[in-house]
Structure 1
Amino acid sequence: MIMNEIRNSKHEIRIKRETMFEIFENSLISNLFVVARVRAFLRETRNAQILQRSLSDLIFFACSSACLRVLNGNSKYPRTRKHALLRTNPAVPELISQSDILRTTASMKACCVILLGCMIFFFSGNQASAAEAVFKQDPQYQKSFDESVDKALAYLAKSQLPDGSFPGGMAKNTAITSLCVMGYLARGYSPGLAPYGETIDRGIDFVLASQSSDGSLVGHGGGQMYSHNISTLMLSEVSGMLNPDRQKKVDAALGKALKIILDAQRVQKQDTHRGGWRYERNSNDSDLSHSGWALMALRSARNNGAPVPKEAIDDAVGFIMKCRMQDGGFAYQPGGGASITQTGVALLCLELCSRHREDTTLKAGEYIAAKYDVKKTNEIPFFYYAHYYLAQGMFQLGDDQWEKFAPKIYGTLLKLQKEDGSWPPIGQHETQPGPCYATAMAVLALSVTYHQLPIYQR
């Protein structure tokens, strides 16, 4: 009789184990059926990113739900079933005890706990990313986003002066006008076409008229190499979108403007500053801020087929790398302290120059993510300048870094926009450039996902 009871007990253990596996299997199959149905629905969104993230979350749900059913003892197996002989016959425990059944149950549950823990560990990072991806793709959010940019462009159009320039800075600043023109291009508007074709054309003509006989695009607004580099970038970006007469003027202006940038890079400098640019054409040192605009102008022109030597691009990248600090950030000049603003400049330039997601750019992205505090953004010097580079750089870096960063920077900028569509200058450094400058930089920062400006396309 004892042996019969032992056989019954072993059979019960096997049934218990098989029952628990059956619970897990049936629950998992049932949940995966739901996943398949939802997957079919998600495919209709035609959004691969959302589909991938959502399926990842649903698989996590299916497996974890199956584990929880086992842990909760959701079974038809009677929990209170016991054998009288196991309780009364002292010979039985030496061969098989009630704890064998309990150990079988416990081991199965332990496996489920371990599996559940592993899933939480591996999927937890995707939960935030998925939520942020949905937030970013939300139709109402996108509508608000589009309305914000459109209001800003309407404000700029009303602010344009009769000569085609946009107010701000010292006298007639070609850099501010060029930034405003690029704001329209970034939204997908083209020269000569309604509703802002005339606004764009007049801005281009103002910059062309400001060029001196030696090719400088500074005009009377000051800023020297800042104004020249930014205006050169704008003319390169708009090239190919113009009518034949205006295109000829732009081609001629670009040839002279690019020569100035290349000559300024070739000025004799110490090794730590070689390859970069500074405030003046003949400066014998360099900084990352000026070099960023100059490099983008050269890169844009080279992309358009202009005869820009590859060595010029490589030397500029070499200078940027000299500004890199051990913590992954970048400094204004070699040997200085890293800042979030200059790290954004470096990240964008390196990404545009075939350094996509290398160790250097990944660490720069980590530095930016760690330093960007939404509660302290007003403490960032050159607020709009910084946000322009941070948005562009992190977007180029892409993947999870951009998904996590985008809602932060979008939220920061959108809440600052005024009712008339403009953005107010923040801090002493951007008071003089004025609201047109601030608005143009905000538009360029917010427009990265439109993929319209060739230089910023992934």
Structure 2
Amino acid sequence: MMPYRRQLMPVLKFAFWGLLALPFAHSPGQTSPSSTAVSPAVKQAVDKASRWLIGQQRSQGCFLDENRGDPVPQHSGALTAMAIMGLTSVGHMPTDPTPEGRAVAKGLRFMTDNIVPNEEGYLGQSDRSRMYGHGIMTLMFAEMVGQTQDEEMDRKLRTRVERAVELIMRSQDVVKSEANRGGWRYEPGSSDSDISVSVWQVMALRAANNAGVKVPKSTIDRAVEYMKRSYRSERNNQGQPVDMEAAFSYEPYGGRQTFSTTAAGMLSLQVCAQYDAPEVIGGGNYLMKNPPSPTEPWFYYGNYYYAQAMYQRGGDFAAVGREKTEQLLVQLQQPDGAWQPRNGNERSAGPIYATALGLLSLSVHYHFLPIYQK
């Protein structure tokens, strides 16, 4: 019997979540933000980006901006995982007999053959992408469970996800200060936390749960508490925030407060089923007045979270988020189809990183990947 394609089975998926009794249930009572079809300009942008992206695949199967001789070049696992998610998010599945489908299948083989977890299940060591890469790769592997119509590959993917989730949970268990408790940072043994690393781990846990890998409720509860501490508002006597238009900060005790950190905090809570938490409502209100700007650091990274968080918020938030995302990305796309980061540290991440995130940002309304479904 062929493995199922999970994007075609939302009813069974939601029933399965309920049986697990975890706080990952879909958002109650929300409707699709818009039934408007994808515009010709967005479809053209997606097609151009997909063609450009598969042109960056190297002979060994990884996606890299430069052709390096190392069998597992630095960040090749994280970048390849992002490219696979970008392509599949717009419908290019590993079973498709198309150039894009074949590229996804080849990339997936690179990942399973070359990104070998260490004895602890840590994926971020092999390509030196650390816990960022571990979360990204775990998310991708979980999203691909059941998508290949290959039972042996499916077993490999599920095993990778199971071990990777165990590593995420052990990393959360490291002794930390009260402010940092429940989050994650650069290495499994880090004693501090930040929102940009933590959001990838939370999304990976959500995707793993979607794929049937058990995630304890206590793990999610601690992550929720950590994220709520990053919301920058005074609290009343009941512990509730008093400012209902505020940002999330990079760390609970300070750091930058931007549209990207706010979108990351919102999305982290949303994938933990905190759809109507005061912090989510306040973060959404903040983003309505502080939308993404290409001049800000980490624009592509933040815009990916922004597109998802605003979509999950629904209503006018989703409509504004979609309009802003599509307008900016169509305008910023290069003639060859790539997106090129241009600010600060993001510039060094390169166009594969930005193009994969651009595709993921535009693909929220396609609903091919389970992580986008409510």
Q: TM-score range by the shorter chain?
A: 0.7 to 0.9
> Residue 267 of structure 1: which of 170, 174, 195 is its match?
174
Structure 1: distance between partners of 2:65 and 2:252: 31
Aligned to 1:149: 46
Larger Rg: 1
TM-score by length of 2: 0.81
Moved more, 389-398 or 329-338: 329-338
Counterpart residue identity of residue 213, structure 1? N
The question of 1:352 aligning with 2:271 is answered yes
Q: Give, in angstroms, the shift of residue 355 of structure 1.
A: 1.5
Paired position in structure 2 for 1:198:
102
Residue 184 (structure 1) aligns with: 87
Q: CA deviation at 1:223?
A: 2.2
Counterpart Cα distance in 1 of 2:183 and 2:124: 19
What SS does the aligned partner of 2:179 have?
helix
Q: How does 1:8-19 map to 2 (within 5 A)?
A: none
Matched residue SS, 1:332: strand
Residue 168 of structure 1 and its aligned partner are, at CA, apart by 4.1
1:295 corresponds to which of 202, 208, 225: 202
RMSD value, Cα = 1.8
CA distance in 2, matches of 1:340, 1:282: 29
Quick check: 2:115–2:127 contact (8 Å CA) kept in 1?
no
SS at match of 1:164: coil
More helix by share: 1
Residues 75 and 129 in structure 2, CA contact (< 8 A), matched pair in contact too = no
Q: Which residue of 2 aligns with 1:108?
A: none
| Cα distance, 1:325 vs structure 2 | 0.6
What is aligned with 2:249? 331
Compute the displacement of 1:219 (Å): 5.0
Partner of 1:392: 308
3-state SS in 2 of match to 1:432: helix
* Alignment match, 1:212: 117
Letter in 1 for 2:283: A
Q: Percent identity?
A: 35
In 2, Cα distance between equivalents of 1:168 and 1:421: 14
Can you list the C-alpha shifts for 1:57-79, whole angstroms capped at 9, x where unaligned? Answer: xxxxxxxxxxxxxxxxxxxxxxx
TM-score (norm 1): 0.67
What CA distance in whole angstroms lies between the structure 1 residues aligned with 2:129 and 2:81?
13
Q: Which shifted more, 232-241 or 254-263?
A: 254-263
Find the counterpart in structure 1 of residue 10 from structure 2: none
Q: Which sections of structure 2, spanning at least 5 residues, go unmatched?
A: 1-32, 67-72, 234-242
Equivalent residue, structure 1, for 2:240: none
> Which residue of 2 is the match for residue 51 of structure 1?
none
- Counterparts of residues 9-408 of structure 1 (less than 5 Å): 137=36, 142-168=39-65, 171-195=74-98, 196-208=100-112, 209-214=114-119, 215-242=121-148, 243-326=150-233, 327=243, 328-336=246-254, 337-372=256-291, 377-408=293-324
How far off is 1:353 after superposition?
1.4
Q: Secondary structure at the match of 2:332?
A: coil
Q: Once the two structures are superposed, what CA deviation does each residue of 1:372-400 show, in whole Å capped at 9, x if it has no partner?
A: 26xxx132111100111111111111101
Specify every segment of 5 or more residues in structure 1 that has no aligned partner in the other structure, as ranges.
1-132
Which 4+ runs in 1 deviate beyond 4 A?
none
Is the Cα–Cα contact under 8 Å of residues 165 and 172 in structure 1 kept in the other structure? no
The structural deviation recorded for 1:277 is: 0.2
Distance (whole Å) between structure 1 residues aligned to residue 189 and residue 74 of structure 2: 24
Cα distance, 1:220 vs. partner?
4.4
